[in-house]
Structure 1
Amino acid sequence: MISPKKYAKPAKTIPKGYKTANEFFNFVFNDEDMIWMGQNTNHLHDENQIMDSMMHSIKKRDYNKYPPPEGFPELKELILKDLGLQNEFDILVTAGGTESLYLCTNDILAPEDNTITCDPGYLIIDNFASRFGDHVKSVPIYNEECGYKLTPELVRENMDDNTKLISLVDPLNPLGSSYTKEELKEFADIALDNDIYLLNDITYRDFAEDHHLMAKIAPEHTVTVYSFSKIYGMAGMRIGGVIGVPEVIKSIKSIVINDLGTNVVSQRGAIAAVKSKKEWLGHIKNTTRSNQEIIKKAVDQVEGAFIPVYPSNGNMLAIDIYNTNVTPLAISKYLLDRKVFTREGSYTSKVFGHRYLRVSFSIPPEDVKYFAKIFVEGMNILKSSK
């Protein structure tokens, strides 16, 4: 019998009444009344060019054919243009940012290499890095002193001669913290001086008020992960990309999983999404910012609760409830029973998961107002029952 391999994994709690995580997600997905605040997905797009382009692709039966294996050239050019990158970079279109992360860690890491990540963070990176390298150093960053993010100082304290990869998710899931240009320049110095690669996951960059690309500062030492899941509202279409200098992308291409290309319908939608971005981006950013304010007002009503990073530069934030004596699991269950899906902190932290609830807010304002109401109500009820 094959034994399951032991890699770093998030502590996913399966709610009572469900045998598996898949069974639970199937329930949540198919409940049309469920308010989706648990996976940072974007529900603010109306019917627009993105949907029209995918529907047109389906009607043409584009899906009967395999697409170009590295992605449609038009899409590749549009992504580079969106990032303000020139022809000295190349891109591989992938089945979502997660596949890009897998390919990067697989290609960059040798068995003796180690990776620096942070806790809280996107734990799938720890999973992948622990498969291909020697070990992962997950640096605790849940404190005000470091600004709730991985700093150049913390990297220097935790790196050694075998450190080959530093994960920089910017803005950071789940906290929404982000980096200044000066901080990125320091990371660039570390990478250049020590021949280290910087894994720059920019999935949430378009929600940020100000964002700087690592690729523009340390191009030879940066791999950039791009996703259509969040700002473009295409999470279920599974499309993204990885960007780097040609030598790096050529190496990554040698280990591709989807050697017959990425979903044709997704790519058609992605092309329309980038082309139409200027038309809807302002609306989505303004809505998510005002939605944050609604959540903040609700949190401020609960004694002992606070938001560590506010405003968040992503479309999600963490609500610290540790001093309320209410557990993230308890309030997430209370909310779920009232048709609001959130995630307890253990999904994004091995060390601090008992402290916070993560909620995303790229959803209609009326749904955020409903969340705010029942969050306050639930916290008061759960606190009084202690």
Structure 2
Amino acid sequence: MISPKKYARPAKSIPKGYKTANDFFDYVFNDEDMVWMGQNTNHLHDENEIMDSMMQSIKKRDYNKYPPPEGFPELKELILEDLGLQSEFDILVTAGGTESLYLCCNDILAPENNTITCDPGYLIIDNFASRFGDHVKSVPIYNKECGYKLTPKLVRENMDANTKLISLVDPLNPLGSSYNKEELKDFADLAEDNDIYLLHDITYRDFAEEHHLMAKYAPEHTLTVYSFSKIYGMAGMRIGALIGIPELIKSIKTIVINDLGTNLVAQRGALAAVKSKKQWLGRITDITRSNQKIIKDAVDQVSGAFIPVYPSQGNMLAIDLKNTGVTPLEISEYLLERKIFTREGSYTSSRFGERYLRVSFSIPPEDVHYFAKTFLEGMESIKRSKLCGS
């Protein structure tokens, strides 16, 4: 019998009452009344060019053919243009940002190398990095002193001669913290001086009020991960991209698994998404910023609760419940019973999971109002139940 390999723990835990994580996700996926605040997906697009383009592709039976293996050239050019990067960069279209992350860890890390990530953070990166390198150093960043993010100072304190990769999810899932130009320049100096690569995951970039690209400061040491899952509302289509200088992308191309190309219908939608972005981006970010204020107003009514990073620069935030007498698991289960899907902190943190509930808010405002009302009711109900039982 094949023994399971021992990597960093999976990012998906099994919720109470379900045999597997897949069973749970199947349940929430198929419940059409579920308010979807647990996976940072974007539900704010109307019927538009993105949907039309994919429907036309299906009607033309484009899916009978394989697409270009590295992505449609027009799509690659549009992504670079969207990022303001010039032709000195190359790009590989992938099956979502997750495939890009995997390819980066696989290509960059040797068995003796280590990786620096942060906690809280996107735990799948720890999982991938532990497969190909020696170990992962997950630096605790859940505090005001570091601004709830991995700083150049923290990296210098935790790196060693074998550190080869630094993960920067920017804005950060789950907290919504982000970086300014000075911090990125400092990271650039660090990477260049020590021949370390920077994995800049910009999945939530377009929700931010201001965002800067690491690739512009350390092009030879940066790989940028781009996703269509969030701002474009295409999470289920599984499409993303990986951007770097030609030398880096050429190396990564030697280890691709998906060598017959990424989902053709998704690429058609992605083309329309980038082309139409200016038409709908402002509307979506206006709604998300208004939505997170609704959540903040509710949180402020709960004694002991607070939002560590506000305003969030992503489409999600964390609600710290440590001093409320209610655990994230208790309130997440209460909300799920009332058709609201959120995630307790253990989904994105091994150290601080008992402190916070993560909620995303790129959903219709009426659903956010329902969450705020139900959250307040739930916090009060759970506290009252504990008092009666004591």
Which of the five TM-score ranges fits, normalised by the shorter chain?
over 0.9
List 4+ stretches of structure 1 deviating above 3 A: 10-13
Which amino acid in the other structure matches residue 5 of structure 1?
K
1:77 aligned onto 2:77: yes
Distance 1:377 1:38 in 2: 19
Q: Compute the displacement of 1:132 (Å).
A: 0.3
Q: Compute the displacement of 1:14 (Å).
A: 2.3
Alignment of 1:36-185 (within 5 A): 36-185=36-185
Distance 2:255 2:61 in 1: 29
- SS of 2:323's equivalent in the other structure is helix
- SS of 1:322's equivalent in the other structure is coil
Contact 1:114 1:136 in 2 (8 A): yes
Specify every segment of 5 or more residues in structure 1 that has no aligned partner in the other structure, as ranges: none
Count of residues in correspondence between the two structures:
386
- SS of 2:86's equivalent in the other structure is coil
Contact 1:174 1:316 in 2 (8 A): yes
Contact 1:114 1:133 in 2 (8 A): yes
Distance 1:240 1:15 in 2: 28
Structure 2 counterpart of 1:304: 304
Contact 1:10 1:350 in 2 (8 A): no
Contact 1:10 1:346 in 2 (8 A): no
1:24 aligned onto 2:4: no
Structure 1 counterpart of 2:368: 368
Structure 1 counterpart of 2:213: 213
Distance 1:200 1:364 in 2: 29
Q: Compute the displacement of 1:17 (Å).
A: 2.5
Q: Compute the displacement of 1:325 (Å).
A: 1.7
Alignment of 1:260-271 (within 5 A): 260-271=260-271
Deviations 1:301-326 (A, max 9, x none): 11010000000000000000010121
State the percentage of identical aligned residues.
Answer: 85
Which amino acid in the other structure matches residue 339 of structure 1?
K
Deviations 1:274-314 (A, max 9, x none): 00000000000000000000000000011010000000000
Aligned CA RMSD, in angstroms, stands at 0.7
Structure 1 counterpart of 2:341: 341
Distance 2:12 2:239 in 1: 24
Which amino acid in the other structure matches residue 253 of structure 1?
K
Structure 2 counterpart of 1:198: 198
Distance 1:345 1:256 in 2: 33
Q: Compute the displacement of 1:3 (Å).
A: 1.1
Q: Compute the displacement of 1:384 (Å).
A: 1.8
Contact 2:69 2:262 in 1 (8 A): yes
Distance 2:247 2:127 in 1: 26
Deviations 1:127-151 (A, max 9, x none): 0000000000000000001000000
Distance 2:127 2:257 in 1: 18
Distance 2:312 2:167 in 1: 19
In structure 2, do the counterparts of structure 1 residues 368 and 92 end up closer, same or farther at CA, with 3 Å as the change threshold?
same
- SS of 2:16's equivalent in the other structure is coil
Structure 2 counterpart of 1:5: 5
Q: Compute the displacement of 1:11 (Å).
A: 5.8
Contact 1:10 1:349 in 2 (8 A): no
Distance 1:242 1:13 in 2: 28
Distance 1:51 1:199 in 2: 31
- SS of 1:324's equivalent in the other structure is coil
Contact 1:12 1:346 in 2 (8 A): no
Which amino acid in the other structure matches residue 164 of structure 2?
K
1:293 aligned onto 2:311: no
Distance 1:138 1:49 in 2: 41
Distance 2:292 2:109 in 1: 38
TM normalised by structure 2 equals 0.98
Distance 1:104 1:15 in 2: 30
Distance 2:45 2:240 in 1: 18
Contact 1:82 1:274 in 2 (8 A): yes
Alignment of 1:197-276 (within 5 A): 197-276=197-276
Specify every segment of 5 or more residues in structure 2 that has no aligned partner in the other structure, as ranges: none
- SS of 1:385's equivalent in the other structure is helix
Distance 1:354 1:384 in 2: 20
Deviations 1:357-381 (A, max 9, x none): 0000000000000000000110011
In structure 2, do the counterparts of structure 1 residues 231 and 11 end up closer, same or farther at CA, with 3 Å as the change threshold?
closer
Which amino acid in the other structure matches residue 109 of structure 1?
L
Q: Compute the displacement of 1:16 (Å).
A: 2.8
Deviations 1:216-266 (A, max 9, x none): 010000000000000000000000000000000000000001000000000
Distance 1:335 1:295 in 2: 14
Distance 1:77 1:142 in 2: 38
Q: Compute the displacement of 1:6 (Å).
A: 1.2
Distance 2:103 2:132 in 1: 10
- SS of 2:359's equivalent in the other structure is strand
Contact 2:11 2:124 in 1 (8 A): no
In structure 2, do the counterparts of structure 1 residues 13 and 127 end up closer, same or farther at CA, with 3 Å as the change threshold?
closer
Deviations 1:327-384 (A, max 9, x none): 1111000000000000000000000000000000000000000000000110011112
Q: Compute the displacement of 1:10 (Å).
A: 4.1
